[in-house]
Copies of this chain bind each other. A is one copy, B any other.
Amino acid sequence: MKRTLSALLLALSLAAPALADEGMWTFDHFPAAKVGAAYGFTPDRAFLDHIRSSSVRIAGGCSASFVSPTGLVMTNHHCAVECVGQLSNKDRDFVATGYYAKQQTDEVACPNFELDALTSINDVTNAVLAATRGKSGTAYNDALKAETARQQATCGTNPAIRCDLVSLYHGGVYDLYAYHRYNDVRLVFAPEYGVAQFGGDPDNFNFPRFDYDISLVRAYEGGKPAATPEYLRWSKNGSRDGDVVFVSGNPGGTSRELTVAQDAYRRDASYPRIISNLAEYRGVLEEFGTTGVEPRRQTHETLFYTENSYKELTGEEHALQDSVFFARLVARENALRAALAKRPALQRAYAGAWDTIARVQRLRTERAIAYNQIGDGQAFQSDLFGYAQTLVRVPVEKAKPSGGRLPEYSDASLARLPDELFSAAPVYPQVEELNLRFSLTKMREYLGSDDPIVRAVLGKKSPETLAHELIVGTKLADVATRKALFEGGAAAIAASQDPMIRFAASIDAQSRSVRKHFEDEVLAPERKASEAIAKARFAIEGTSTYPDATFTPRLSYGTVRGYRDERGRTIAPYTTVGGLFARASGAEPFVLPQSWLDAQSQLDPGTPMNLASTNDIIGGNSGSPLIDKSGEVVGLVFDGNIESLGGNFGFDPKLSRTVSVDSRALLAALRAVYHADRIVSEISPAK
């Protein structure tokens, strides 16, 4: 999941009910009356349904919206840049130069791009809880897996329909979400990276900001632009300071309902390791990028995501390291437990759950390293290894009933598998070798040279040698080879001499075993205890609050508003196009593309460029539309300020800000810089 939006707070509040502007609300429990009381505008059901139907999720980890009746989708540049990179090669680098399909026939298919538009939500809580009641450990996990597969199977195996069992309130509610799934998605427009990510890593998560972080793609069905009658119209006048605004998107995940023990685990064990791993990988990529134009191009997007995650997680860790912030998390938990203690029946039923979770965190500390290295989904950071692992597992899993399989091989999941497994995305052997070498080296470092898993994986070889032999030797970069192995099933896998297939097969038993132990002994008891805490919270607080984010459609509300930062500086809510030109230094990452320099005289320097608003968002919200009370687009969300990064754990209404590209700058540049007349008339038809 791309997490480009996500928190250093001093003045946050963590108590229920939610603060002004707090919350990533589900569409079916949106606090419309509260918004009305605060802002004089009460969203009605039609307003909410329209926004929901016009919103779309990018399965890779972003949000988006339909902005025309013929499938045109607006999202961030950084949400489509992977596709832009995959469509590039050493002779044409669309990431650097941008891309614009002058005619519809120029719209070009992204190798692996899935859009999901929510069509229905069914509450299946009772069925799920009945299936797992009284079970624990392996039995609990097996029952939950089987029930999940059963629920998903009710949607059939049409790849145009996707059903996900969604756990809200950490198991307090189970909903079956059905989506219309689009897997033929084509690139329409992407600006140059230099202006989309103007300011690069130094400006990331900062405000004031000056980015043109937009990309347009189109959903196709049956080879034609999809009909999307529900879509968002463009605002004629944009927003003003103080306007109420909504963000419709898919926040990827928050940790606001976790226990203090889980927070402490993150602070003391999880974040430090992940962050230093990201830092080292970042260094590797940076240096690799200095060896030539093509190495830099091949790792450009990966470096962006790595730097972005590094900055985001560092901000989240920092929030937990703030003793005032952490004390509030403790106080909030204590308040809930104190309320519980006053109700003996609830106390008997649920109070033990906190201790269970604390105990599980200690086990997690011991087990997480091996799990993360080899057990968690795909073991190593290599596409080719990933293909091999999938190919090895498919025939083994297919032989089982759907509900007994690893979840990613259920019938519902297998229906989507070909899109990934047979993707035409290019594979770069040098990058693959770098990634696999890095993964193997870290595995040895974290587990130690004498660990049985490390010995099984490396044998007598060094990470460098093993990575080199596997990447040079494998033929899995070739789609036809992958297809043949897939179609040949168990016999083809058994007969294959491909070194990557043999390698994946040789470590499969160990990988599964590590995963199973972790799921049964750590994840299952934690989930069960979280369900108990959710029930306790419902009993005390009712449903006045919103569930932690789960990368499913949510709506947040707020207003366009500046702030006074921690150094006492007053930050205005809008930046301008003139400010962008003033900030351009000519040195990376502050270099404007020639197209913008050429068009400067056609652009009004007073046009609002980016804007800040108080909406509560987090990573996964990238690409969300910013919508006014007419239901029209006034901006495109692409980031949060640095003060928003503690938002994973708690919302800070004073300092946390959502950062969007202003709709007026979006349109002005489409016209004056890109002369994208076809698209301008599609999104902004003459009246």
Contacts and interface: CB of A to CB of B under 8 A. Distances in A.
A554 to B, nearest CB: 31
Contacts of A317: 272
Given A461-B587, A587-B461, A434 B287 contact: yes
Contacts of A318: 272
Given A283-B283, A283-B284, A588-B462, A202 B276 contact: no
A199 interface: yes
A119 interface: no
Contacts of A281: 283
A288 interface: yes
Question: Which of A264, A267, A287, A587 counts the most B-chain CB atoms under 10 A from its CB?
Answer: A287
7 contacts: A199-B449, A268-B321, A268-B323, A269-B321, A280-B280, A460-B586, A462-B588
Interface in A428-462: 434, 444-445, 448-449, 458, 460-462
Nearest to A307: B445
Q: How large is the interface on A (under 10, 10 to 19, 20 to 34, 35 or more residues)?
A: 35 or more
Contacts of A291: 291
B321 A272 contact: yes
Interface in A234-283: 264, 267-269, 272, 275-277, 279-283
| Chain A to chain B: the 3 pairs with minimum beta-carbon distance, closest first | A283-B283, A287-B287, A279-B279
Nearest to A201: B445
Interface in A581-615: 585-590
A322 to B, nearest CB: 8
A324 to B, nearest CB: 11
Contact of A275 (B272, B285, B287, B434): B272
Nearest to A322: B268
A206 B586 contact: no
Contact of A448 (B202, B286, B449): B202
A420 interface: no
Nearest to A434: B287
B202 A588 contact: no
A284 B282 CA distance: 8
A624 interface: no
A355 interface: no
Nearest to A287: B287
Given A272-B272, A283-B287, A434-B287, A202 B462 contact: no
Contacts of A287: 283-288, 434
